Copies of this chain bind each other. A is one copy, B any other.
Amino acid sequence: MASSLLSRQIALSLPQNLRLCAPGYRYVSKTAAKTLEEFEYDGPSMKTEVPGPRSKELMKQLGEIQNVGAVHFFCNYEESRGNYLVDVDGNRMLDVYTQISSIPIGYNHPALMKVMANPNNLSAFVNRPALGILPPENFPDKLVESLLSVAPSGMRRVQTMACGSCSNENAYKAMFIWYRNKERGHNTPSQEEINSCMVNQMPGCPDLSILSFMGGFHGRTMGCLATTHSKAIHKLDVPSFDWPIAPFPKLRYPLEEFVRENAQEEARCLEEVEDLIVKWRQKGKPVAGIVIEPIQAEGGDNHASVNFFRSLRNIARKHGCAFHVDEVQTGGGGTGKFWAHEHWGMEDPADVVSFSKKLLTGGYFHKDELTADKPYRIFNTWMGDPSKNLFLAEVLNVIKRENLLEEVTRSGKALLHGLYDLQAQYPHILSAARGQGTFCAVDVCDDATRNALIAKARDKGVILGGCGERSIRFRPALVFKEYHVHLFLNIFNDILARYK
């Protein structure tokens, strides 16, 4: 089998200290490498084009079971390490996309292996509880130790969920419930409401709406999908709700060079938001909440200014709408702060903040008043997975211990400046480099060139992701250091040079 062959090759080629902390080894804690340099590989190593022959074979096999049109290649996760993802053909690639931005501290981090080696943790993996009715003894403590230790300003309450879509769906429900109780002036529904909701009708199922933004992405279940407007392929053929959609500012980059034009564009969008809130109220479909990403990710890494978000938060407050900041992709440190909205510098940035991906568990924080007023209103069988909280607590320890947010800020500066240099050198290919921390992106002249660059980078040992119509997004793990940035920039420069 490819993986065992590879493991032999690696055993032969690695220094002794690396062999001892190979992922297969149980008691990593005792022999764990002290630094990332010691732990991970020293660079990409390519043996075939990607996908290689073994990946193609497996793709055929999986194709009998599922649509594999989106599969890039098959991975050897056992041999992957730190910033390097190893595939089943023995190719080792620098991962600047990290499973759609969902690997916080790299592959097989010794601290996470340690969670697995602790016998006290086993039962959390083997016995998944129905958290909403029968939580384990350590659940409150683990929440305090993990999620609550990074609670956004003004929030002390959190609800875990299994994934990003479920997090947003339930956050929307919490906003609808809160809004209706506010409209009623109390939380006792009428008999008419109770009866009509059972058959999907008003007033029990009210015609409330969530205001979202063009280019936004909030998930693919039907509530979330009604607020997602990034690509047609996500939405086509699925029934939806008639909810208001505001324009997201289309800014010019770098932001600091186009302050005046950008401020005008943002003012236009904010005005439109207020108009839509009024219009939908008049239509009988009041806006219960506004949902927005601090940086539109899937939609093309679209930024807006601090002033835009502050004004939007005020508009929400003024019109009595809940303000929901979706940090599923931006949360967890990639922007150099744990939450992207911290860059706004507000004491009361939001009513709801949802998360998933790098947090390993889904869920949402919320203000006290958005707590569901009765049991079983925000509920499902699993309500998350406490085994993910164990990993998250360790991830947060590592972030603190290794000052990873500072590292991200440092690496991010190097990455953004490198992209500025490259776009100056290849202005016919690259433009609009932008980013916060390592959460960076750059536009490519067209869709086809963007896709070609991503494919070429992969064959040279770098995994990148696309977003929007013609952007490349950078989503490395928090352990992506300055020397990884330079490694990437050199490889990318070589590829671009061919296009000159």
Given A119-B26, A239-B206, A219 and B126 contact (CB-CB distance below 8 Å): no
Of A133-141, A261-269, A314-322, A487-495, which stretch is located at the interface? A133-141
A109 on the B face (CB < 8 A) = yes
Which 4 A-B residue pairs are closest in the complex by CB-CB distance?
A: A69-B375, A222-B223, A70-B375, A200-B240
Q: Is the CB of B238 within 8 A of A148?
A: no
Of A191-199, A399-407, A421-429, A433-441, which stretch is located at the interface? A191-199
A120 on the B face (CB < 8 A) = yes
Q: Is the CB of A199 within 8 A of B245?
A: yes
Mostly, the A contact residues are loop
A221 partner, pick from B197, B222, B356, beta carbons under 8 A = B222
Of A33-41, A153-161, A333-341, A344-352, which stretch is located at the interface? A153-161
On chain B, the residues within 8 Å of A164 by CB distance are 380-381
Q: Closest approach, in angstroms, between the C-beta of A219 and any C-beta of chain B?
A: 7
A74 partner, pick from B139, B242, B380, B387, beta carbons under 8 A = B139
Residue of B with least CB distance to A235: B197
Contacts A65-B140, A70-B132, A70-B133 known; list 11 others, CB within 8 Å: A58-B140, A64-B157, A66-B371, A74-B139, A76-B136, A78-B120, A100-B133, A108-B126, A113-B126, A162-B166, A222-B226
A130 partner, pick from B102, B144, B181, B380, beta carbons under 8 A = B102
Contact with B along A158-189 (1 / 0, CB 8 A): 11001111100110110011011100000001
On chain B, the residues within 8 Å of A468 by CB distance are none
**Interchain CA distance A166-B219 in the complex, whole Å:** 11
Q: Is the CB of A241 within 8 A of B200?
A: yes
- Which residues of A, 89-129, contact B by the 8 Å Cβ criterion? 99-100, 102-103, 107-109, 112-113, 115-116, 119-120, 122-129
List, sorted by A's number, 5 A–B pairs whose CB atoms are closer than 8 Å: A65-B158, A74-B137, A76-B137, A108-B127, A197-B235
Contact with B along A211-249 (1 / 0, CB 8 A): 000100001111110100101111111111111010000
Q: Closest approach, in angstroms, between the C-beta of A6 and any C-beta of chain B?
A: 10
On chain B, the residues within 8 Å of A280 by CB distance are none
Q: Closest approach, in angstroms, between the C-beta of A250 and any C-beta of chain B?
A: 15
Contact with B along A376-411 (1 / 0, CB 8 A): 111111100001000100000000000000000000
Given A67-B371, A70-B133, A78 and B163 contact (CB-CB distance below 8 Å): no
Residue of B with least CB distance to A57: B140
Q: Is the CB of A77 within 8 A of B127?
A: yes
A372 on the B face (CB < 8 A) = yes
A238 partner, pick from B135, B176, B238, beta carbons under 8 A = B176
**Interchain CA distance A159-B220 in the complex, whole Å:** 15
**Interchain CA distance A245-B128 in the complex, whole Å:** 34
On chain B, the residues within 8 Å of A76 by CB distance are 136-137
**Interchain CA distance A467-B222 in the complex, whole Å:** 27
A143 on the B face (CB < 8 A) = yes
On chain B, the residues within 8 Å of A46 by CB distance are none
Q: Is the CB of B143 within 8 A of A65?
A: yes
Given A189-B236, A237-B206, A360 and B128 contact (CB-CB distance below 8 Å): yes
Q: Is the CB of B239 within 8 A of A134?
A: no
**Interchain CA distance A77-B139 in the complex, whole Å:** 12
Q: Which A residues lie at the B interface, using CB under 8 A? A: 1-3, 23-26, 54, 58, 61-62, 64-78, 80, 85, 88, 99-100, 102-103, 107-109, 112-113, 115-116, 119-120, 122-130, 132-137, 139-140, 143-144, 148, 156-159, 162-166, 169-170, 172-173, 176-177, 179-181, 189, 193-195, 197-201, 204-209, 214, 219-224, 226, 229, 231-243, 245, 356-357, 360, 371-382, 387, 391
Q: Closest approach, in angstroms, between the C-beta of A168 and any C-beta of chain B?
A: 9
**Interchain CA distance A240-B209 in the complex, whole Å:** 11
Given A65-B156, A143-B65, A157-B66, A239 and B137 contact (CB-CB distance below 8 Å): no
On chain B, the residues within 8 Å of A72 by CB distance are 133-134
On chain B, the residues within 8 Å of A100 by CB distance are 130, 133, 381
On chain B, the residues within 8 Å of A170 by CB distance are 220-221
On chain B, the residues within 8 Å of A116 by CB distance are 116, 122, 125-126
On chain B, the residues within 8 Å of A376 by CB distance are 69-70, 231, 233-234
Q: Is the CB of B88 within 8 A of A232?
A: no
Q: Is the CB of A62 within 8 A of B169?
A: no
Q: Closest approach, in angstroms, between the C-beta of A91 and any C-beta of chain B?
A: 13
Q: Is the CB of B75 within 8 A of A135?
A: yes
Given A125-B116, A137-B2, A64 and B156 contact (CB-CB distance below 8 Å): yes
On chain B, the residues within 8 Å of A176 by CB distance are 237-239
Given A66-B157, A122-B24, A205 and B130 contact (CB-CB distance below 8 Å): no
